[in-house]
Amino acid sequence: MPTGELRESGSLPAIASLNASYSTSLSIPSPYIFLPPSERRAISDVRRTFCLFVTFDLLFITMLWIIELNYSNESIWVSLDKEVVQYSFETSFFDIVLLALFRFLCLQIGYAAFKIRHWWMIAVTTLVTSAFLVGKVVRISHVMSDNAFGYVLPIASFVLAWLETWFLDFKVLTQEADDERGSEEDLDEEGLGRKAVTSQEKEFVRQGREAMSVVEQILSQEENWKFEKNNDMGDSVYTLEIPFHGKTFILKAFMQCTPELVYQEVILQPEKIVQWNKTVTACQILQRVDDNTMVTMGRVCWSSRGRCLCKSNSNPSVCTFIWVLNTDLKGRLPRYLIHQSLAATMFEFMSHLRQRITEIRSSGRSHHHLHP
């Protein structure tokens, strides 16, 4: 089946690659993650601080309103009845609390839930707040002689609304834009030779980095892996249910060779895999994005979304090979039939890989004997 593969190979001991479905045109979607796609980007520290300030706005205005209720000589329940039940625009300040609640809901939904990266939402809330408070102060100015404390609420609400606008525009959006530009510069500086230049190439590199992060998350949840099968070589296949992406297969195999050797054969030379892996009939490098990232296409019988190598600290001549597989073959075959064959396919790949390693070692020993 045609596939498009994006690989980001960092320095050992950890290597990850991303393989996605390929149809009529090259399409490399974002890697599978444990959250919906809309929640992939983690909220920044400065945005989190802004959301806390918005919460403070609501709590502070509510506290001032409660103080205002106790300002008169009447009981708080009588004042509450006048402010809420017998609401009047000219005498009640409960609407200012509702205005603070309006800002809280709009800004938290927009900038915390949906992570909007534009100022239009804060512009709406500030405009509504300013217009309402100006009208409020004009209408109640003739009754403020009896309750001078009432001026504190509209003034505080007005100031907090504009502080939120300043904080978002000059801190949150500016710093996030700087962080993004810095991240892109870091990506460019990682390669010692060719670097990602175009926006598409930088997107490929970013997706590769995300794939590596996802693989690390899966490895950190090894206690949740469900054992499925093993073979005579001691290789084991596990599964892990990932929300929004379904069942993910994980092969764990112990290799009697250095991780660098596996890295060389599996990651650095994808176009040569067809020479030793019988499950692959064709493989071609479509684009070399930078020194660490390449896009390949091959007509293959298996489809991977991530591979990792773990070097042994006690014995550097052995390693653990971990293959994370999450595939959608886009056919009409029942999914359960595909899942039943995946473990056998993964075991077959390991058999070919071990045979390839043996051939390389034998060739190396023969060359050593011929050239002492």
What pLDDT does 160 receive?
A: 96
Residue 365 pLDDT level (bands cut at 50, 70, 90):
low
Residue 71 pLDDT level (bands cut at 50, 70, 90):
confident
Say whether 28 sits in a helix, a strand or coil: coil
Residue 249, CB-side half-sphere exposure with 13 Å CA sphere:
25
pTM of the model: 0.50
Residue 174 confidence (pLDDT) above 70: yes
214 or 264: which carries more pLDDT confidence? 264
What pLDDT does 130 receive?
A: 95
**Complete DSSP assignment for 81-148:** IIIIIT--TTT--HHHHHHHHHHHHHHHIIIIIS---SSHHHHHHHHHHHHHHHHHHHHHGGGTTS-G
What pLDDT does 49 receive?
A: 94
Listed residue (211, 228, 243, 230) closest to 324, CA to CA? 211
Q: In this predicted model, what pLDDT tens digit does every residue of 179-196 receive, in sequence order? A: 777 665 655 555 445 666
Q: What is the mean pLDDT of residues 250-254?
A: 93
Q: In this predicted model, what pLDDT tens digit does every residue of 258-282 receive, in sequence order? A: 888 888 888 778 788 888 887 777 7
Residue 271: DSSP 8-state: G
Quote the tokens at residue 372: 């002492």
**Complete DSSP assignment for 287-309:** EEEETTEEEEEEEBS---SEEEE
What pLDDT does 299 receive?
A: 54
CB atoms within 10 A of CB 107: 26
What pLDDT does 1 receive?
A: 31
226 or 142: which carries more pLDDT confidence? 226
143 or 340: which carries more pLDDT confidence? 340
Percent of the chain residues past pLDDT 90, beyond the cut: 28
Q: In this predicted model, what pLDDT tens digit does every residue of 97-131 receive, in sequence order? A: 999 999 999 999 999 999 888 999 999 999 999 99
What pLDDT does 94 receive?
A: 92
What pLDDT does 220 receive?
A: 85
Quote the tokens at residue 174: 């500016």
Tell me phi and psi for residue 321, to 5 degrees: -100, 125
What pLDDT does 186 receive?
A: 59
d(CA 208, CA 306): 10
Residue 333 pLDDT level (bands cut at 50, 70, 90):
low
Mean pLDDT of the chain: 76
> In one letter, which amino acid is 6?
L
Q: Are strands 293-299 and 226-230 parallel, antiparallel or unpaired?
A: unpaired
Tell me the Ramachandran region of residue 286: left when phi exceeds 0, alpha when psi lies from -120 to 50, beta otherwise: alpha
